[in-house]
Amino acid sequence: LRLEPESAFVLPPKLFGAGRKNSAGLDLEVATQRAALQTAFDNLTVPSVPEFDAKQAASAYATSATSYKIWSKAPVAERAALLRQSADALEHQMPRFCAILVKEAFKTWGDAVSEVREAVDFLRFYADEAERIMAPVALPGPTGETNELRLSARGVWVCISPWNFPLAIFMGQVAAALATGNTVLAKPAEQTPFVALEAVRLLHSVGVPEAAVQLLHGPGETVGAALVALPGIAGVVFTGSTPVARTINRALAAKDGPIVPLIAETGGINAMLVDSTALPEQVVDAVVQSAFRSAGQRCSALRLLCVHEAIADHVIEMVQGAAKELVLGNTAEWATDVGPVIDKEAFDGIQKHIQRLHSTAKPLLAQSAPARAAANLIAPQAFELKQVSDVAQEIFGPVLHIVRWSGDPQAVIEQINALGYGLTLGIQTRIDSRAHALAAAAHIGNVYINRNIIGAVVGVQPFGGEGLSGTGPKAGGPHYLYRFCAEQTLTVNTTAAGGNAALLASMP
Ligand code: UN1
């Protein structure tokens, strides 16, 4: 196979914006919705949300536990119906929620539309799933007994969600707990409480009891810690950083009483392995989308490109060309592809990492953000490193590390496995058998062959990783709701009744 060299390759300027398909293959239809979105944006003020007093955690819990007694007894179809009504309501309020995401979380319009859709998908998917798995299952057994498996709710769940998908992940966690009959104490990310407040109001507006889902906004160190420490909670579901997942795990382990499950979805040093047969245009599109869309603020985002040395120069040149075409700026502008990172703290941390890379790696795309374009804006960056193990840390921003490789691609997969994370992986090759062998060898939760590695779709690409990337089960997948449920096996001896019936029948 020979690859023809290409001259400078440049992607169309509107890389992530209006008119393009998103990763779910859905037409964003932004053009037709623009007027409604813009009006919602212009009319919106994001108010500050009152903080919850961590000292009130026990009383919030008591209210939730009382509500649990009623909510958990409601037929699953009733709970599912309320979630479906919430999905409909959210669809109707799409412009307002998109506007909130742009204003509060600095999402681009394209990302905001995708996120509201994802939240709607979570509501409908978990409604369907709860109905599917909560129907009693008859199990085989010997004659003379019946066996059945029944699922029920566990109790009060603490849901702790991140700022990078402040609506979709928030709603996904809450919907999973509610659908299965649990009640919720929800702690949103400190940076994005308003969209969470609006999501909770929406749930209440269709009839989900106020006590069944309570919003407890505040710092993780106080409010989050107080919730996790509550003696009676039935489980914790968390999406965020690996260190915070560890802190929660330790706090749960230190408690007396029942063992409390933790569902954690954390970060990743996500790689894409590109061999010498890969299609360069496809690679560059996948790389730019995966590394720089959402300013790299996705746990699924590409951090490490491992490209075969035979095509490395060519691919790097194309990535440089494409990345320079991205429109950087304020996400309230329709044309913007890459907006600011979430806050000053994130900005400073990423800048520090970039400075370190300047002294340890070779800059391949060292741009600076246009002056005064937006606060906390970081222009996409790429650095070449010598080996996979040089990438020690997940950086939650638009920074791509590139490593050249040659020889056995399985060895590269082993080096990627050795990083200890296991969230997403891309494989780009035209050799099908190789792609499947590499995927099988990777200890990675979501593997994408010959495409980008972001934008997992609910029910289509169940999402979640291994090792440092989390505990599973995968969100948006067929096993997720089981973790929110208690399982009861019910065995009934039927011979006594049968014997009686036979005896009665034989009596004159
Ligand atoms: C996250 O970024 O915290 O596949 C998880 C994706 C998203 C990732 C969500 N569903 O890009």
For ligand 1, atom 6, the nearest C-alpha belongs to 455
Q: Which of 101, 165, 453 for a ligand 1 pocket mutation test, highest count of atoms within 8 Å of Cβ?
A: 165
Q: Which of 299, 302, 423, 446 for a ligand 1 pocket mutation test, highest count of atoms within 8 Å of Cβ?
A: 299
Q: Is the CB of 339 under 6 A from ligand 1?
A: no
**Structure tokens, 217:** 């906004």
Q: Is the CB of 455 under 6 A from ligand 1?
A: yes
Q: Is the CB of 173 under 6 A from ligand 1?
A: no
Q: In what order do the strands lie in the sheet with 302-308?
A: 362-366, 381-385, 399-405, 302-308, 270-274, 424-428, 446-449
Q: Does the predicted interface ipTM exceed a cut of 0.85?
A: yes
**Structure tokens, 162:** 């991140």
Output helix, strand, coil percentages for the chain, rounded to the nearest 5: 45, 15, 35
Distance 391 CA to ligand 1 centre (A): 21
For ligand 1, atom 8, the nearest C-alpha belongs to 300
Q: Please state the pTM of the whole predicted model.
A: 0.92
pLDDT at 253 over 50: yes
Distance 298 CA to ligand 1 centre (A): 5
Per-residue pLDDT at 12: 32
Q: Which of 161, 454, 457, 460 for a ligand 1 pocket mutation test, highest count of atoms within 8 Å of Cβ?
A: 454
Q: Which of 167, 300, 303 for a ligand 1 pocket mutation test, highest count of atoms within 8 Å of Cβ?
A: 300
Q: Is the CB of 476 under 6 A from ligand 1?
A: no
Per-residue pLDDT at 508: 62
The closest-lying atom of ligand 1 relative to the alpha carbon of residue 239 is 3
Average predicted confidence (pLDDT) for the chain: 92
For residue 451, name the pLDDT band (cuts at 50, 70, 90). very high
Percent of the chain with pLDDT over 90: 86
Contact of 191 with 342, CB cutoff 8 Å: yes
Distance 171 CA to ligand 1 centre (A): 14
Q: Is the CB of 464 under 6 A from ligand 1?
A: no
Which one from 299, 384, 466, 485 is the annotated catalytic residue?
A: 299
Element (H or E) spanning 491, and its range? strand 485-493
Q: Is the CB of 456 under 6 A from ligand 1?
A: yes
Per-residue pLDDT at 496: 73
For residue 505, name the pLDDT band (cuts at 50, 70, 90). low
Judge whether 265 counts as a catalytic residue. Answer: yes
Please state the rounded mean pLDDT for residues 196-225.
98
Q: Is the CB of 300 under 6 A from ligand 1?
A: yes
Q: Is the CB of 122 under 6 A from ligand 1?
A: no
Contact of 382 with 364, CB cutoff 8 Å: yes
Please state the rounded mean pLDDT for residues 481-505.
81
Contact of 340 with 106, CB cutoff 8 Å: yes
Q: Is the CB of 97 under 6 A from ligand 1?
A: no
DSSP 324-348: HTSPBS-TTSTT-SB---S-HHHHH
Contact of 163 with 342, CB cutoff 8 Å: yes
Per-residue pLDDT at 498: 54
Please state the rounded mean pLDDT for residues 236-260.
97
Q: How far apart are CA 331 and CA 334, in angstroms?
A: 7
Q: Is the CB of 480 under 6 A from ligand 1?
A: no
Which one from 265, 317, 384, 466 is the annotated catalytic residue?
A: 265
Q: Looking at 9-13, 239-243, 409-413, which range is the least confident one?
A: 9-13
pLDDT at 185 over 70: yes
Q: How many residues does the chain have?
A: 508
Q: How far apart are CA 416 and CA 368, in angstroms?
A: 30
**Structure tokens, 158:** 């603490």
Q: How far apart are CA 508 and CA 499, in angstroms?
A: 16
